[in-house]
Amino acid sequence: EADIYQTPRYLVIGTGKKITLECSQTMGHDKMYWYQQDPGMELHLIHYSYGVNSTEKGDLSSESTVSRIRTEHFPLTLESARPSHTSQYLCASSEFGRGSSNEQFFGPGTRLTVL
């Protein structure tokens, strides 16, 4: 079954640690996205990718970085976690092209808490 996966689902970590949030999709979608959802539930785009070796910054400035070495995989890394990074991170993917549905499919999210 085609789907989009995120691991871990929950992460509690101390300040200064390096973390990587994983996102994988089995739908063969070219476009992938990372959104940050703050405790007030507001969602902001922080990174996106058109395809392999393509990464772009989103609307909200973020200290995180992303990579896209394989179509199905779009990990997000924080080199040094801080309490201000505490949030839920949602990964999404969609088809690319004017004939596509433009629907974005979302993963279950990673809830990150930095102490």
Partner 1 sequence: AQTVTQSQPEMSVQEAETVTLSCTYDTSESDYYLFWYKQPPSRQMILVIRQEAYKQQNATENRFSVNFQKAAKSFSLKISDSQLGDAAMYFCAYRRGGGADGLTFGKGTHLIIQP
**Residues in 60-89 that interact with partner 1 by CB under 8 A:** none
Whole-angstrom Cα distance, residue 53 to residue 94?
17
- Distance in Å, CB of 25 to partner 1, minimum: 13
50 is an interface residue for partner 1 by CB under 8 A: yes
Whole-angstrom Cα distance, residue 87 to residue 65?
16
Whole-angstrom Cα distance, residue 54 to residue 19?
21
| Residue count, binding to partner 1 (CB under 8 A) | 26
Contact code string over 9-28 relative to partner 1, x by CB under 8 A: --------------------
